[in-house]
């Protein structure tokens, strides 16, 4: 007996069994590791898009597919790979037999999940958007693919029930709608800019367009600004399609529900999607139609790099996948108007005679104080007559009570005696307080004239509701703003005071709509101030019932108010485009901003290889940083994006100080 065999013979039976088991497991581990380095028999090379937000490394890398992972490392699957000495996440974007790499390929570390969550069309879309916005594909994919929820992934996605179709009824008065719907139902890909009219039930109209496309065997993607719009379209789709045909992709449902709905779309179990801006990347099977509602709403602008706009994402998908497209809204953006001018899309709108029957709009000056408040006589009469037959909406641009104060004698802004910050009043029984330091001014005196009286040049919805409550005693006055948003109101004769975007939907529509303090919306120092003001007014006024009355309080001579009175968003958009062509502003030009420290901007201007037609404006101070504005003609926009992308790659490789680049910023 050898010296090695003697100790083993003396072992207890249980210990001997444990040692034998350990040896078997170790041998199995060695065999697995050896097999892991053996390439797969079929397509042994995986192209992996690594989750590294470095511009100079923004491309797929080749990895070897171990034989043990051959069946699970499918295109679209999440994997772990070794990159720069650490394990990082990535997506398999392709499998093949050849590689350009001259050395030995590193194997995949592991397959996180065999679920193919990244569709080929989204891979192509991410490349297009990264190129357009001079960003990284990994940043785009973070917006496109929600985080994994392992427990949800184990559940199956039941198939949708059968759908036989529905007859459109809400589009009867829209010119050319019959031809558009007929082409959709025939499997074609028409494109339109749709101007909804006052009194239109736009969620029902969207649902009918979806039903026509869905009945033809194609998928539909609908993007709206916020969860309230999602809820309205969700209800309309349920009524038209029935239960189980669509999903809502929003963040409100939590990570598990969002991932469950995403998987239902990715697996093809659901082919109708409605959601907010992140839903624009949904991998809808057999996509036949993309719809965006109210593309002028700033909620469609993604605040995270590379800052894509939902409209541009959907238009890119429409071009790449050959789908139909609808840009709908009560207002019209200059970008949508440009699509009509270039022939890319056709117009869908009701005739002028229908508009004249639907609504009557007038603009009245704000100086008329005959009823003792800032509400002019015409607005007062409109509210009084409207209450005889239903609810009345009063839109005000500011929330709160009195957001700013001034001396009642000399009109000088009221300032805090402690820190010189602006004073405000939070309620009727509260003393003035500083918005900066919170100091309460119990005995304020104007340092300019010595006066002690205060006035509120800008009044919020709470103060407006208080005034209207005194004017119309016995009438219920409801407020909707901020975190206290009222979703719906009944047809009872109440006054509803709401801030912009918080207007409730009234059953049957409002009998009258009053738009207060329109000058405040026009006072924004922004390129899109007038465009945004008109969009806000039109969205509020469109809630009126057919035959209702709208009164806007402001300067009747202002072009935006004139467009409101005529209910002519198309004409206003055409005028905006003409003026911006003369001023070399979007959509006639392409803009990009570069923001950072002054030294970093100096490096940018030194390294940037701009097109010959480019203009460099700045740098100028913005908050605590400096900003440079780059401008080129629209036809040279791709060259600008290419130059900025090359700049990002050079700066990333040299590890220079970071800067923030925004292509086509919403505001400047």
**Cα three-residue angle 278-300-579, rounded to 5 degrees:** 150
Burial class (CB in 10 A: 0-12, 13-18, 19+), 113: middle
pLDDT on residue 495: 94
Q: How far is CA 508 from CA 207, 359, 500, 664, in A?
A: 19, 14, 20, 40
- Helix residue ranges per DSSP H, 156-274: 177-185, 202-215, 227-241, 255-266
- What are 603's two structure tokens? 């490096």
Does the model's pTM come out above 0.85?
yes
Closest among 293, 286, 284 to 326, alpha carbons compared: 293
The phi and psi torsions of 32 (rounded to 5 degrees) equal: -65, -40
* Rounded Cα distance, 115 and 372, in Å: 67
What parts of the chain have a pLDDT lower than 70? 1-14, 30-37, 367-373, 401-402
The phi and psi torsions of 439 (rounded to 5 degrees) equal: -65, 130
Specify the 3-state DSSP secondary structure of 43.
coil
Specify the 3-state DSSP secondary structure of 146.
coil
pLDDT on residue 5: 46
First to last CA, the chain: 89
* Rounded Cα distance, 322 and 100, in Å: 32
Q: What is the DSSP letter of 205?
A: H
pLDDT on residue 12: 63
Can the peptide bond before residue 619 be classed as cis, meaning omega within 30 degrees of 0?
yes
- Provide DSSP, 384-419: HHHTTTS-EEEEES--SSEEEEEETTT-PBPB-TTT
| Beta carbons of 562 and 530 less than 8 angstroms apart | no
pLDDT (tens digit per residue) in 464-501? 888 888 889 989 999 998 878 899 999 899 999 999 98
pLDDT on residue 666: 86
pLDDT on residue 638: 93
| Beta carbons of 498 and 480 less than 8 angstroms apart | yes
pLDDT (tens digit per residue) in 522-558? 887 788 889 999 999 999 999 999 999 999 999 999 9
* Rounded Cα distance, 493 and 509, in Å: 12
pLDDT on residue 348: 96
* Rounded Cα distance, 273 and 280, in Å: 9
* Rounded Cα distance, 229 and 330, in Å: 14
pLDDT on residue 435: 80
Q: How far is CA 339 from CA 323, 333, 432, in A?
A: 16, 10, 50
* Rounded Cα distance, 96 and 83, in Å: 20
| Beta carbons of 547 and 358 less than 8 angstroms apart | yes
């Amino acid at each position: 007996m050898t010296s090695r065999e003697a100790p083993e013979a003396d072992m207890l039976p249980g210990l001997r069994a444990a040692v034998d088991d350990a040896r078997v497991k170790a041998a199995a581990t060695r065999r697995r590791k050896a097999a892991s380095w053996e390439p797969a028999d079929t397509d042994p090379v995986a192209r992996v898009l690594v989750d590294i937000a470095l511009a100079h490394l923004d491309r797929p890398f080749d990895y070897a597919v171990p034989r043990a992972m051959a069946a699970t490392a499918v295109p679209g699957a999440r994997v772990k790979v070794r990159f720069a000495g650490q394990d990082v996440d990535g997506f398999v974007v392709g499998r093949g037999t050849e590689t350009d790499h001259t050395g030995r390929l590193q194997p995949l570390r592991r397959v996180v999940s065999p679920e193919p969550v990244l569709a080929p069309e989204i891979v192509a879309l991410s490349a297009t958007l990264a190129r357009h916005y001079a960003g990284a594909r990994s940043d785009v994919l973070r917006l496109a693919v929600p985080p994994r929820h392992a427990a949800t992934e184990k559940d199956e996605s039941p198939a949708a029930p059968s759908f036989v179709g529905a007859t459109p009824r809400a589009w009867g008065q829209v010119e050319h709608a019959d031809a558009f719907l007929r082409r959709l139902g025939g499997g074609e890909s028409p494109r339109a800019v749709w101007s909804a009219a006052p009194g239109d039930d736009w969620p029902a109209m969207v649902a009918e367009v979806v039903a026509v496309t869905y009945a033809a065997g194609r998928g539909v993607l609908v993007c709206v600004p916020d969860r309230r719009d999602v809820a309205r379209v969700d209800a309309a789709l349920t009524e038209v399609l029935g239960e189980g045909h669509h999903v809502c992709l929003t963040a409100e449902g939590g990570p598990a529900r969002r991932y469950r709905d995403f998987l239902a779309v990715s697996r093809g179990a659901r082919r109708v999607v409605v959601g907010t801006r992140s839903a624009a990347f949904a991998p809808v099977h057999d996509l036949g139609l993309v719809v965006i509602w109210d593309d002028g709403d700033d909620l469609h602008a993604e605040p995270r790099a590379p800052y894509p706009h939902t409209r541009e994402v959907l238009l890119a998908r429409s071009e790449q996948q050959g789908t139909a497209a609808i840009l709908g809204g009560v207002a019209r953006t200059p970008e949508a108007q440009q699509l009509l001018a270039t022939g890319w899309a056709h117009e869908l709108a009701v005739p002028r005679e229908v508009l004249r029957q639907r609504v009557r709009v007038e603009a009245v000056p704000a100086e008329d104080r005959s009823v003792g408040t800032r509400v002019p006589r015409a607005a007062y009469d409109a509210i009084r007559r409207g209450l005889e037959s239903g609810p009345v909406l009063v839109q005000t641009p500011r929330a709160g009570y009195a957001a700013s104060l001034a001396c009642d004698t000399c009109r000088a802004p009221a300032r805090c005696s402690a820190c010189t910050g602006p004073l405000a009043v939070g309620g009727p029984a509260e003393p003035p307080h500083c918005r900066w330091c919170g100091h309460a001014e119990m005995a304020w005196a104007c340092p300019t004239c010595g006066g002690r009286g205060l006035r509120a040049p800008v009044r919020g919805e709470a103060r407006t509701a208080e005034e209207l409550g005194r004017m119309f005693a016995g009438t219920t006055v409801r407020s909707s703003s901020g975190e206290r948003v009222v979703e719906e109101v009944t047809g009872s004769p109440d006054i509803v005071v709401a801030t912009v975007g918080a207007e409730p939907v009234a059953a049957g529509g409002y009998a009258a709509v009053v738009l207060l303090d329109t000058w405040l919306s026009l006072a924004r120092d922004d390129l899109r101030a007038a465009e945004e003001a008109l969009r806000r007014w039109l969205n509020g006024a469109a809630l009126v019932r057919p035959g209702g009355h709208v009164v806007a309080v402001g300067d009747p001579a202002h072009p935006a108010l004139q467009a409101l009175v005529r209910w002519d968003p198309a004409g206003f958009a055409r005028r905006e485009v003409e003026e911006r062509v003369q001023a070399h502003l979007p959509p006639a030009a392409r803009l990009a901003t570069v923001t950072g420290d002054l030294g970093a901007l100096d490096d940018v201007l030194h390294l940037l290889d701009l097109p010959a037609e480019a203009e460099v404006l700045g740098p100028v101070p913005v908050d605590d940083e400096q900003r440079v504005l780059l401008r080129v003609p629209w036809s040279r926009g791709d060259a600008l994006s290419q130059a900025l992308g090359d700049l990002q790659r050079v700066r990333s490789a040299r590890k220079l100080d970071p800067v923030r680049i925004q292509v086509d910023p919403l505001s400047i």
